[in-house]
Amino acid sequence: MADLRELYQQVILDHNRRPRNFRALDRPDHQAEGHNPLCGDRISLGLRIVDGVVAEIGIQGAGCAISTASGSLLTEAVLGKSLLEVQALIAAFRAMLTGAGPPDQPDLGKLLALQGVRDYPVRVKCATLAWHTLAAAVGGSREPVTTE
Ligand code: ZN
C-alpha cells in the first residue's frame, strides 16, 4: 500500500501549501474559535447556511501542517452539506482518528488522507482541532474550543 500512503502524503502537503477557503467570512451565521495548546494551532472558523446547507465556509489561523491540511480538507468536505450531514461527518472523522467508530460510516473521501495520523497520538489533536471547532460552531457554542 506504499502508493496509497504516498498519495495521502501528497494530499496533506498540497492542502497545507494551498489551504482551501482560507479566509474570514463577512457575516457568518455560525462562528467558533479553536486552540490546540499542545501544538500552538489556532483557528477561527465561520459558516454561512443557505437553504439548510453550508453555502460558505472560511477558516483562518496559524498552525502546523496537519492542522492546516485538516482544516482545508474539512472546508471542502462540508460545503453543500446539510447540518445533519455535517454532524455525521464530524462523528465519522473523529471515529477514524480514535478508532472508536462504527464500521458503517459515511464516505470520508479525501479525508482518509489523514487516517495515518491515528498512529501519532500527539498529532491527533492537530487533525481534530478544526472538527471540534466546527462542532462548536454548528452547536452554537460561544465558548472558545480547546483540545485540552
Ligand atoms: Zn498542530
Q: What is the distance in A from the centroid of ligand 1 to the CA of 32? A: 18
Q: What is the pLDDT of residue 101?
A: 61
116 vs 18, more confident: 18
Please give the span between the terminal C-alpha atoms of the chain, in angstroms, as a whole number: 34
Q: What is the pLDDT of residue 104?
A: 61
In the chain, what percentage of residues exceed pLDDT 90? 75
Phi, psi of 27 (to 5 degrees): -130, 80
C-alpha cell at 75: 472546508
Give me the chain's average pLDDT, please: 91
Q: What is the mean pLDDT of residues 17-35?
A: 96
pLDDT at 139 over 90: no
Residue whose C-alpha cell reads 453543500 in the numeric block: 80
Q: What is the distance in A from the centroid of ligand 1 to the CA of 129? A: 8
pLDDT at 148 over 80: no
Q: What is the mean pLDDT of residues 42-52?
A: 96
Asked if residue 113 lies in contact with residue 5, where contact means CB atoms within 8 angstroms, the answer is no
Q: What is the pLDDT of residue 105?
A: 67
Alpha-helix runs per DSSP H in the chain:
2-17, 65-78, 83-98, 121-139
Query: Which of 57, 52, 33 shows the shortest CA–CA distance to 145?
Result: 33
Q: What is the pLDDT of residue 102?
A: 60
pLDDT in tens, 61-116: 999 999 999 999 999 999 999 999 999 999 999 999 987 766 566 789 999 999 98
139 vs 56, more confident: 56
Asked if residue 128 lies in contact with residue 147, where contact means CB atoms within 8 angstroms, the answer is yes
Q: What is the distance in A from the centroid of ligand 1 to the CA of 12? A: 13
Q: Hey, which residues does 63 pair with through a beta bridge?
A: none
Q: What is the distance in A from the centroid of ligand 1 to the CA of 40? A: 6
- Given pLDDT bands bounded at 50, 70 and 90, which one contains residue 143? low
Residue whose C-alpha cell reads 457575516 in the numeric block: 27
Q: What is the distance in A from the centroid of ligand 1 to the CA of 52? A: 32
Which helix (H) or strand (E) segment holds residue 60: the answer is strand 53-62
Q: What is the distance in A from the centroid of ligand 1 to the CA of 24? A: 20
Q: What is the distance in A from the centroid of ligand 1 to the CA of 73? A: 15
Q: Which domains does the chain have, with CATH numbers?
A: 2-141 (3.90.1010.10)
Q: Hey, which residues does 45 pair with through a beta bridge?
A: 32, 59
C-alpha cell at 133: 471547532
Residues, beta carbon < 5 Å, ion ligand 1: 39, 41, 64, 67, 126
Q: What is the distance in A from the centroid of ligand 1 to the CA of 92? A: 20
DSSP-derived 3-state class of residue 124:
helix
pTM for the whole structure:
0.90
Q: What is the distance in A from the centroid of ligand 1 to the CA of 87? A: 23
CA distance 124 to 104: 22
